[in-house]
Amino acid sequence: MSTEMLPFDAAEALAAAALRASGARAEAAEQTASALARADLDGIASHGLSRVPAYAAQLRAGKVKGDAVPAVTRPADATVAVDAADGLAYPAIATGIAWAASLLGRAGVVAVGVRNSHHAGALGLFVEDLARDAGAFAIAFTNSPAGIAPPGSGTPLFGTNPVAFACPMAGRDPLVIDLSLSVVARGRIMIAAQKGEPIPEGWATDDRGNPTTDAKAALAGAMLPIGGAKGAALVLMVELLTAALTASHAGFEASSFFDDAGGPPRIGHLFLAIRPGAVAADTDVVAARVAAITGRMLAEPGVRLPGDRRLALRARNRAEGIVYPTALLAQLRTLAAGSGPG
């Protein structure tokens, strides 16, 4: 595969131009491009510029509204409700995060619901921002289009429903945890199906809920959650905290993030930020506790902190540039030139 190296700023600018040319208002295009380029910087290509062609197609089809402006209400002292209004997710999330940071000092805990939203990309970025910029312990949940079936069924009802967490660490980047609740990403099953290869047991079931190693049967079936019934319960918890609590579409109602078919996905996200010191008597002790816990982990040979590989990639990619498939960049340049499809 032919590749090209792009500095972060150039990647961000190219994505923004492609999204603007596809109908996104300027600020929404910039916020989206920034989140996607940051994901690429961290080596999370599945949530990076590779998403721009699909976003652009959905903007052109009106499945994502390019001129949507997030609408904020404040139903209670410590909460924020953001209506993404069928636009891209990132402007709505940025609005919610900024509100959370501004309320955190006084409230001590803030909850932000984002509804009628779209693909939130690498969820860890937002909790990392809350940890770094607002000094918060932050948790994020999002639902996503159906891929996982409830135990006892082969019918996918809920998404892989990612969970992200971050907390500040003295003298270094925040500790970030970012994971989906499926055993593997659907993309890995798709690749096996394309190659005609089997998949390991434990990844997926067929459409009757029976275990399968046939990748094509798995694509027609459901992905398995981590931890069996326990993971399935966590998937449901995230679905209720997002789809129900933010009054958005459930996984079984949400349209795909990948094509321009159907109406807007209208999924929901929930962000929780807690200020250290607000649930215990002493602020400084919290920082010391984080240092003691992570220090004890690192005293074990072979143990590392979650996210450390990502931070190493970030440093390297920032210095050397991000490697992109030439074909993807050509596609984005065509979009940016305004001569894309539609």
Q: Which of residues 59-118 bind a second copy (CB under 8 A)?
A: 73, 75-81, 83, 105-113, 115
Binding mask 282-311 for a second copy (x = CB under 8 A): x--xx--xx-xx--xx--xxxxx-x-----
Part of the chain binding a second copy (CB under 8 A), chosen from 13-21, 41-49, 185-193, 280-288: 280-288
Q: Extract long-range pairs of 303-306: CB within 8 Å, 24+ residues apart.
A: 305/175, 306/175, 306/176, 306/177
Residues in 140-159 at the binding interface with a second copy, rule: CB under 8 A: 149-153, 155, 157
Q: How many chain residues interact with a second copy (CB under 8 A)?
A: 82
Q: Is residue 36 part of the contact set for a second copy (CB under 8 A)?
A: no
Residues in 2-21 at the binding interface with a second copy, rule: CB under 8 A: none
Q: How far is CA 295 from CA 5, 102, 170, 291, 329, in A?
A: 36, 31, 12, 6, 42
Beta carbon of residue 172, minimum distance to a second copy (angstroms, whole number): 15
Beta carbon of residue 342, minimum distance to a second copy (angstroms, whole number): 32
Tell me the helices (H) and strands (E) count for the chain, helix number first: 11, 11
Part of the chain binding a second copy (CB under 8 A), chosen from 46-54, 163-171, 258-266, 308-316: 163-171
Nearer to a second copy, 306 or 321 (CB): 306
Nearest to 257 by CA among 2, 46, 25, 34: 46
Q: Which two tokens stand for residue 40?
A: 């690429």
Nearer to a second copy, 190 or 245 (CB): 245
Q: Is residue 220 part of the contact set for a second copy (CB under 8 A)?
A: no
Part of the chain binding a second copy (CB under 8 A), chosen from 6-14, 36-44, 266-274, 318-326: 266-274
DSSP 264-315: ---EEEEEEEE-TTSSSS-HHHHHHHHHHHHHHHHTSTT---TTHHHHHHHH
Beta strand 109-117 pairing with 79-83: parallel
Binding mask 222-251 for a second copy (x = CB under 8 A): ----xxx-xx-xx-xx-xxx-xxxxxx-x-
As a whole number of angstroms, the distance between CA 105 and CA 283 comes to 12
DSSP tag of 23: T
As a whole number of angstroms, the distance between CA 214 and CA 233 comes to 26
Which of 10, 185, 278, 313 binds a second copy (CB under 8 A)? It is 278
